[in-house]
Structure 1
Amino acid sequence: MKQLQTLFLPLILLGLFSSFKPNQSCEYASSNVSYVKSEIEKAVAMTDLQLTRFHTYKAINAIEKSKDELDNCGCEYAIDNITLSSEHLKMATKTSTLASTAIFLNKALKETSDTLTSLKEHNTHKSSYGNDVLALNTVNLTNENEHGSYTPPTEELLKQKVDSSLISYRASLDKMISTVNCREARAYADRIFEHCEQQLLKSNLSEGKKYYNLKTKEITAEAIEKLGECGK
């Protein structure tokens, strides 16, 4: 009997450690993302472009080093948000003025804050209609009645919320066109446009993601038309 207890004890401990691993990974990821956030805040506060880039690169490197913990945590909301943050940080390193850099840094800062929130609320996320929620990570698509039960949003409601969320995206693009160097703005818009095109080619794309990418592509196309051939 004692031998059996000795044999099973490591298995029990392994099971316990395995059960705690995802939460622990989320905690590690949260700690790393907090560091990313602090570096972005430092970058935003700098008045020298080279120092801004120094802290921006530190944030980018920290995100790269956090990928394993984020994957182990398994929070797709957080992964989506930090991926967007990384993209905007990389764009920030390619700008030539503090004003244009600040636009991308502030986007990255917001997305990094959203990542921390997602990690904190990871265990409360609902999987129903998850693909569309993940596609619209800045949009609240969950419908809860007074009893707290969940019902998926209707197609009409989904489109309304997508349209509402894209109002700020359109405003952000307009601000970028008026404040960022034309070549840099065109490169950013082209990148978003191409990303939407690639997403729309996927055969397994949900209706929510299709609509989101289609409308984003349309808005971005309008911005590209305004920018003209400056980046070509």
Structure 2
Amino acid sequence: MTKIPFDIVGFDLDGTLLDTSADLTAAVNHALGTLGHGPFPVETIRPFIGRGARRMLERALAVAGVTDEALLDALQPIMLDHYAANIAVHTRPYPGLIAAMDVLEARGVRLAVCTNKREYLARPLLETLGLATRFAAIVGGDTLGPNRLKPLPDLVDEMVTRAGGGRAIFLGDTDNDTIAARAAGIPSIAVSFGFVACTAEELGADAGIDHYDELVPLLERWA
């Protein structure tokens, strides 16, 4: 059996572990609907996901022709409350993920999550899907307080520490993930099936996968 040269495999959440785009779009549309705007299709909102809830809503408002910080402040809790109440209606793991996790765990690799999604939302989402107990650490956008989000390395560093330390690698779907991993001194893998239509090279990742069936073989080949 080929050894996997990592103690920890870390994952971004939205667009990497889980396709959350339909439920997040529903939350955005609920908030915008209070103003009479939308609804927007998932295809419109999907590229806005991954840089935090506020930025997602801000970009959706801009599409609706609205730029107003006070309004953004008022709509954000409406959006988040709706999302919390409907957190896993359509959200599902990406194909092949569970099988890859099974293999990694059987090989003694610890799994972890590092996301800009707030921890108070990330944990119940993973719990609802029966996945929370499989991660040695779940670190979210509110774990270390405000303004310490990816692409800063802080959350990635915290993920590695909480997962018990050791050699780590990080998977994500945006340059937030690859930049944060690089700043934390660990390699990164970009997934092509996430919310940002970019190649691994464009995102600055060390490698890329198109399906989770490719993850374990890639890690086994890692120099």
Q: Same fold (TM over 0.5)?
A: no
| Higher RCO structure, 1 or 2 (CA under 8 Å, sep 6+) | 2
Q: Write 1 or 2 for the structure with the bigger share of helix.
A: 1
TM-score (norm 1): 0.24
Q: Write 1 or 2 for the structure with the bigger share of strand.
A: 2
Decide which structure has the larger Cα Rg and report it: 1
